[in-house]
């Protein structure tokens, strides 16, 4: 069963590799739903945490979330834009876990102008993503999962919609504190376009990652490789041509997200992250040397959780994300 699942993931990824070598739309689907994930660089599929929101990145992780767990989150994104969500898990027996989640992006009000640039009113824009997930504990160490996501994007009187599936597989060795995952995200299509004619692609991604705790240090390291079916340099914002880094190294770094958890106790964590792609893009746009870095912390009690993270998705401002969770 485990070999068949892994084979299915790899077959789907290579089958999509050629077709997915493009820039994509609906990138709101790649935003983190958890402050802990945001603090670790924004992309992580191996995180060990009893939080329903971690399944938004890899549905296999729902297998380790408690029964009847609820989490709520809010993030200031850019200007008046906000990203908020709610997630809930329900366990059935020892091996089955169901999950539901919703994420809402509110872009606020914008000026509506005519062809001469004159303001004639205002309009609103928003994105809503609904997800239904399922995970199955294959053995003491292996779990698999899937999530169906539907997204509706509204821009004034125009609406676009998408339908996609996420697939995930996770291996967790508790004794070695090792978590290894593979995830296929945003496998789907746009089912309705704003104008009824022009359709764009979803941000399909094959991600591989691992998390490793240290035997004699209260830390856990994370490394995630993202978008592994896209390698054309035109898709990514690479460093300047006179960079001392070889071209191959630059391409690899554009897929790499690093994270570090500092664990002073079983209930408290401090997290740091660095996303190379975000750093390159923000620096190219004129942002500071802190571009690409993220940080956060949280409290994980038996029934209650709290998390906070700071990161930068836009050169003009940073984003703060907070969440609270409770086991009912």
pLDDT at 240 over 60: no
Q: Mean pLDDT throughout 282-287?
A: 76
Token couple for 115: 């062809």
The per-residue pLDDT for range 7-46, each reduced to its tens digit, is 444 444 444 433 344 445 588 999 999 999 999 999 999 9
pLDDT of amino acid 294: 97
Q: Given pLDDT bands bounded at 50, 70 and 90, which one contains residue 296?
A: very high
Q: CB atoms < 10 A from the CB of 328, how many?
A: 10
Tell me phi and psi for residue 194, to 5 degrees: -60, -45
Token couple for 190: 């746009």
Q: Given pLDDT bands bounded at 50, 70 and 90, which one contains residue 182?
A: very high
Tell me phi and psi for residue 81, to 5 degrees: -80, 140
Distance (Å, whole) CA 82 – CA 312: 14
Coil, strand, or helix at residue 285?
coil
pLDDT at 245 over 50: yes
Distance (Å, whole) CA 240 – CA 99: 44
Q: CB atoms < 10 A from the CB of 67, how many?
A: 11
Token couple for 54: 């971690």
Higher pLDDT, residue 218 or 242: 218
DSSP 8-state class, residue 191: E
Residue 6 backbone zone (phi > 0: left; psi -120 to 50: alpha; other: beta):
alpha
Distance (Å, whole) CA 146 – CA 168: 6
pLDDT of amino acid 37: 97
The per-residue pLDDT for range 132-152, each reduced to its tens digit, is 999 999 999 999 999 999 999
Rounded (5°) CA angle 296-299-305 = 110
The per-residue pLDDT for range 84-132, each reduced to its tens digit, is 999 999 999 999 999 999 999 998 877 777 677 777 777 788 999 999 9
Domains with residue ranges and CATH for the chain: 2-327 (2.40.160.60)
pLDDT at 1 over 90: no
Q: Mean pLDDT throughout 251-256?
A: 90
The per-residue pLDDT for range 35-79, each reduced to its tens digit, is 999 999 999 999 989 999 999 999 999 999 999 999 999 999 877
Token couple for 88: 């809930």
Q: Are 67 and 89 in contact (CB under 8 A)?
A: yes
């Amino acid at each position: 069963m485990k070999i068949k699942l892994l084979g299915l993931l790899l077959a789907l990824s290579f089958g999509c590799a050629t077709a997915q070598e493009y820039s994509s739309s609906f990138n709101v689907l790649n935003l983190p739903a958890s402050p802990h994930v945001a603090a670790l660089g924004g992309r992580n599929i191996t995180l060990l945490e009893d939080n329903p929101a971690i399944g938004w990145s890899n549905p296999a992780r729902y297998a380790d979330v408690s029964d009847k767990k609820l989490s709520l989150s809010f993030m200031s994104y850019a200007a008046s834009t906000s990203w908020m969500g709610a997630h809930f898990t329900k366990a059935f027996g020892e091996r089955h876990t169901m999950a539901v989640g919703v994420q809402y992006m509110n872009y606020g009000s914008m000026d509506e102008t005519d062809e001469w640039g004159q303001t004639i009113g205002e309009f609103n824009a928003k994105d809503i993503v609904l997800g239904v997930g399922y995970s199955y504990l294959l053995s003491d160490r292996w779990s698999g999962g899937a999530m169906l996501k539907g997204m509706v994007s509204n821009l004034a009187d125009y609406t676009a919609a998408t339908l996609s599936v996420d697939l995930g597989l996770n291996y967790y060795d508790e004794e070695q504190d090792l978590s290894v995952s593979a995830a296929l995200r945003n496998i789907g299509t746009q089912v309705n376009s704003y104008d009824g004619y022009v359709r764009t692609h979803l941000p399909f991604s094959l991600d591989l990652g691992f998390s490793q705790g240290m035997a004699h240090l209260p830390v856990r390291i994370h490394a995630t490789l993202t978008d592994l079916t896209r390698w054309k340099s035109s898709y990514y914002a690479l460093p300047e041509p006179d960079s001392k880094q070889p071209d191959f190294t630059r391409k690899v770094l554009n897929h790499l997200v690093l994270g570090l958890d500092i664990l002073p106790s079983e209930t408290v964590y401090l997290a740091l992250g660095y996303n190379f792609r975000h750093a390159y893009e923000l620096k190219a746009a004129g942002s500071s040397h802190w571009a690409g870095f993220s940080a956060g912390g949280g409290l994980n009690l038996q029934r209650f959780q709290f998390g906070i993270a700071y990161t930068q998705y836009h050169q003009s401002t940073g984003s703060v994300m907070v969440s609270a969770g409770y086991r009912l």
